[in-house]
Amino acid sequence: MGESAVLASDTAPAPSAPVVVEARGLGVAFEADGQRVSALTSVDLAIRRGDFVSLIGPSGCGKTTLLRAIADLQAPSGGTLTVNGMTPAEARGARAYGYVFQAPALYPWRSVARNVMLPLEIMGMGRSERARRAEHYLRLVGLGDFARKFPWQLSGGMQQRVSIARALCFEPTLLLMDEPFGALDEITRDGLNLHLHELWRRTGMTVVFVTHSIPEAVFLSTRIVVMSARPGRIIDVIESPLGAVRDLGIRESGEFLAVAHRVRAGLRAGHSYD
């Protein structure tokens, strides 16, 4: 909580804040039909503690690939990548990050509370502590009353909130989110964006957030990384001038529109609209 007090004055973390994720000349290539397809080339990026970084770009720009490389779900083919100063594999072993997928990926045979406890069970945490944490984080995402329900009895937005609670419950310092609200309708999405913003401000954790949506990226981020396709690369990194405390009304402000405009310009420069 001390972290958030520091952050309250200004959204951008102090330049002295330690680097959490660092990529240098990072490249990822796939084998498809016997051909080598480059998904990501020479990515240089440093994400500092307390950052909320959005990766935005057209399909095929490698934003999800970059996130998966950080999570050690995808092996890089060149360059270096460190997470908390370790290799991604070591960081995964140390349970350094929580991951939220495009879909909730909840296990239907487990109740909501037991879904949240799943990572804790795997990490060998005691029963009472598991229960305490599940209750705490479910309340944090506003689902305290749904602990005994099963995932399929909840709406899509609620399911995605459960999956966020699951990613938070072992208290990682880094949260990786891969288009978590992409499948939801816009009204639900606005609500969850606001909620996520509050959560980030209160916990002061580092978030890497992949999205398709320009307003979503601008609303949530302290920094926006604009990417382009063929080959996947970074076009622009935008520091957000918006303050730490934001509400949905901010989206009509001139500052907001200026940032959105710059993101759109970056996408155009990367031929995203061709």
Partner 1 sequence: MRQVFASPVFVAVLALAAGGIARASLRAVPALALLAALVTLPLLVLALARLARRDTLAARLASPALFGALLLWLWEMLVLGLHIPFVLLPPPSAIAAAFATHLGTLATDFRQTYLHAVIAGYALGCGAGFAVALAVDRSPFLRRGLLPLGNLASVMPIVGVAPIMVMWFGFDWPSKAAVVVVMTFFPMLVNTTAGLAAAGVMERDLMHCYAAGYWPTLFKLRLPASMPFVFTALKLNSTLALIGAVVAEFFGTPILGMGFRISTEAARMNMDIVWATITVAALAGSLSFGAIALIERAATFWHPAFRR
Write out the residues near partner 1 by the rule CB under 8 A. Answer: 71-73, 92-93, 95, 97-99, 101-103, 105, 107-109, 118-119, 121-123, 150, 152
- Side-chain half-sphere exposure of 202, counting CA atoms within 13 A: 10
- Pair 100, 175: CB distance under 8 Å: yes
Nearest to 272 by CA among 226, 215, 239: 226
Comparing C-alpha atoms, which of 129, 130, 127 is closest to residue 117?
130
Distance between CA 52 and CA 56 in Å, rounded? 13
* Backbone torsions φ then ψ of 90, nearest 5 degrees: -65, -40
> Running DSSP on this structure, what letter comes out for residue 253?
S
Cα gap 236→250, rounded to integer Å: 23
| Omega within 30 of 0 (cis) for the link into 88 | no
**Tokens representing residue 197 in the block:** 């913003």
